[in-house]
Amino acid sequence: MPSTEVHLYPDSLSPGALKTEDEHRRDICTAGRWIHERAYVASTDGNISLRLDPRRILTSPTGISKGMMAPDDLVVTDLDGHKLSGRRNPSSELGMHLLIYKRRPEVNAVCHAHPPVATGYAAAGIPLNKAILCELVLSLGCVPVARYGTPGTPELAEALEPLVQSYDAILMANHGVVTCGPDLLTAFFRMETTEHFARVALVSELLGKQVLLSGGDVEKLLAARTRYGLQTGATVGPDCPVTSDTAAPERITMTRRELEALVDEAVQKALEKDRQQR
């Protein structure tokens, strides 16, 4: 017999932030299942929230798999994180969600997860800021890395503070990714886009070559973004994204044998000079 759960909480999520509280509760559970199914989190990691109204936030609780939440597991808090209702407790990482809601009045939803490839970049301290994908220039611009902050302490929000105003997706050093948007579907899509971009960036790095778009290519994309009226807070600036015009000169790579030959040659020259001076 098919699970009644599937019929109660269908696997779809409509755009928009104007919904009943029941609809918002179902949406958070659906987004939680998507994040879990895509392995963007392990165990009870990750957290999702949305703005119910100017004073109330609906959020996933602590200590539960994001793939197993039911609507009445969710917690309602105020903008300072005080619990208003719910039998469970909010995540200790709620502070970073609240920071984003306070700084970005147009943001109505926040997703935090640990998708493995983007989190790998975060662990390496490497931002996803190269203009290698036209779609990403259009949607996110680039994804910076916030410095490390201990989870469960105010450090986590403090580390994000300099970046939340300008970016819709941020890598959190040695931790994960946080995304936001005008509604939950957009915030979730931005998490999906960030992980997808990280995978493409990784493959191009494994192939040993990245052909960056030029500054002119990026300008044309930005003009198209304005023309299409795309709703995005994506920041662009001198180094965001890095284009073929602004990239640092390419690194020189060589084989071990070539390096040994160079070292040998230098040593021989030094010995020869030494002999001549004696």
Determine contact, residues 18/109, Cβ cutoff 8 Å: no
Q: Using CB under 5 A, which of the segments 79-87, 99-107, 171-179, 235-243 binds Zn ion?
A: 171-179
Q: Using CB under 5 A, which of the segments 175-183, 201-209, 226-234, 235-243 binds Zn ion?
A: 175-183
The pairing of strands 75-78 and 56-59 is antiparallel
Q: Is residue 149 a contact residue for Zn ion (CB under 5 A)?
A: no
Determine contact, residues 180/190, Cβ cutoff 8 Å: yes
Which of 32, 115, 176, 181 binds Zn ion (CB under 5 A)? It is 176
> Closest distance between Zn ion and the C-beta of residue 172, in Å?
7
Q: Is residue 241 a contact residue for Zn ion (CB under 5 A)?
A: no
Q: Using CB under 5 A, which of the segments 25-33, 52-60, 66-74, 168-176 binds Zn ion?
A: 168-176
In angstroms, what is the C-alpha Rg of the chain?
23
Question: What are the backbone dihedrals phi and psi of residue 136, each rounded to the nearest 5 degrees, phi first?
Answer: -75, -35
Determine contact, residues 169/179, Cβ cutoff 8 Å: yes
Is 28 or 218 the residue whose CB approaches Zn ion more closely?
28
> Closest distance between Zn ion and the C-beta of residue 226, in Å?
34
Is 17 or 122 the residue whose CB approaches Zn ion more closely?
122
> Closest distance between Zn ion and the C-beta of residue 1, in Å?
37
Q: Measure the CA–CA gap between 77 and 82, rounded to whole angstroms.
A: 5
> Closest distance between Zn ion and the C-beta of residue 266, in Å?
48
| Full strand arrangement of the beta sheet holding 169-172 | 83-85, 75-78, 56-59, 47-53, 109-113, 176-181, 169-172, 145-146
Q: Is residue 144 a contact residue for Zn ion (CB under 5 A)?
A: no
Q: Which residues bind Zn ion (CB under 5 A)?
A: 176
